[in-house]
Amino acid sequence: MSAGDPPPKPPHAGGPHEGRINARRLRLEAYPGEGDPPLDSPCDVLCEDHVGTYTLPFACAWTRQGWTNVTTGEAVTVGVVAWRLRRTD
């Protein structure tokens, strides 16, 4: 390395996971709910598994039993990592 060369990047900078990490961060920012949502209020949820993050295509509600599908009442059995109150417009 000569005096005019830029310093080497750390091993993680610009690595194969950087895009995935940035996408996850951006998705989390879109779901500003903190703590538990109001009981039985329709919410959009962000879930995560070994592949990455994704949203469920149906409204969910936080109940005394945990997350449930608003329409069917079935339990949501995937890992919810973030939520936001569902827009009604």
| 17: phi then psi, degrees, rounded to nearest 5 | -95, -5
**pLDDT (mean) for 80-88:** 90
Q: Where exactly are the structural domains of the chain? A: 18-85
Quick one: pLDDT at residue 30? 84
State how far the Cα of 45 lies from the Cα of 56, in Å rounded to an integer: 6
pLDDT digits (tens, 9 = 90+) for 17-68: 666 677 778 888 888 878 889 999 999 999 999 888 899 999 999 999 999 9
How far is Cα 77 from Cα 29, in angstroms, rounded to an integer? Answer: 23
Phi and psi (nearest 5°) for 23? -60, -40
